[in-house]
Amino acid sequence: MAETVTTDILIVGAGPIGLYGAYCAGFRGLRTVLVDALPQCGGQITALYPEKEIRDIAAVPGTRGRDVVTALKDQADAFDPTYLLGRQAVGLAHSPHGRPQVTLSDGVTVDAGAVVLTAGIGTFTPRTLPAGEEFLGRGLTYFVPDPAEHTDRDVLVVGGGDSAVDWALALHPIARSVTLVHRRGTFRAHAASVRELQECGAGIVTNAQVETLAGDDRLRQAHVKIDGEAEPRVLKVDAVVAALGFISNLGPLADWGVQLERRTIVVDTRMRTTVERIYAAGDVTAYPGKVRLMSVGFGEVATAVNNAAVALDPALSLFPGHSTESA
Residue ranges of the annotated binding site are 36, 44, 49, 89, 124, 283, 324
d(CA 182, CA 209): 7
Rg (CA), the chain: 22
Per-residue exposure over 141-177, b if at least 16 CB sit within 10 Å of its own CB, e if not = bbbbeebeebeebbbbbbbbebbbbbbbbbbbeebeb
Q: What distances in angstroms separate CA 254 from CA 28, 123, 258, 259, one per listed residue? A: 30, 12, 7, 9
CA dist list (Å): 188 to 17, 160, 182: 24, 6, 10
Q: What are phi and psi of 208, to 5 degrees?
A: -145, 155
What one-character DSSP code corresponds to residue 232? P
Residue 241: CB partners within 8 Å, gap ≥ 6? 141, 142, 143, 144, 155, 156, 157, 158, 164, 167, 171
User: Which residues does the annotation place in the binding site for FAD?
Assistant: 36, 44, 49, 89, 124, 283, 324
Which of 205, 103, 97 is closest to 156 using CA atoms?
A: 205
Sequence-distant (6+) residues with CB within 8 A of 299 are none
DSSP helix/strand/coil, 54: strand
Cα 81 from Cα 77, distance rounded (Å) = 6
What's the angle, vertex CA 275, arms to CA 271 and CA 280, rounded to 5?
A: 30
Distance between CA atoms of 127 and 313, rounded to whole angstroms?
45
Q: Give whole-number Cα distances, 43 to 120, 152, 216, 273, in Å.
A: 8, 30, 35, 22
